[in-house]
Amino acid sequence: MENSNYSWKTRYFSKTWNIYRNNRQVGSIEKPFFSRKSTAEINGKKYEFQDAGFAGLESEVIDAVENKAVGKVQFDADNGIGIIQITDEKNSTVELKSGWRSKLTLHNSTGLNILYDSSVSGLSGKIEANKDNDLKLLSGLYLFALMSKLGSITLAGIFAFIGIVALAVLRWVF
């Protein structure tokens, strides 16, 4: 079987990640910053990701049409690893492949391999899958979006801390 190639795009501070195949939009993920619920669609199938816990590092995957749980997505921020559990399928592991959070791979014991490769800006990227599995592909991009937002929040916190320290030093000096 030939690999399936997709691409994705977003914008700075956007809540939407669009998924394309052959330059035609085939899906999207809408993940608002301060909401515990994300909506997603791929190839006409609609899903929701409902975050659990304080940091939203675990989400239940819900078939939006049938309104029933079909899986779970978990992210271990300390180790850069995610687990995607879809009902009646083998679990898949999502692993960070670069320190800049620009490459992820999703794989499982059935031979499924999906590579997520981001541009330097993090605003677009490519997805290459060796098997068709829309829900796993979508769930992997959801994890990628989650990691990107966590990275942005972390950077904002670091810059805020540096600003506070710089201001304190300036007050002390002057």
Cα–Cα dist 93/66, whole Å: 26
Query: What are the residue ranges of helices labelled H in the chain?
Result: 134-173
Single-letter amino acid, residue 64: A
pLDDT band at 96 (very low <50, low <70, confident <90, very high): low
Q: Is the pLDDT score of 40 beyond 80?
A: yes
| Pair type for strands 4-9 and 124-129 | antiparallel
Of 71, 65, 76, 78, the closest CA to residue 49 belongs to 71
pLDDT band at 142 (very low <50, low <70, confident <90, very high): confident
More confident residue, 88 or 36: 36
Helix (H) / strand (E) containing 76: strand 68-76
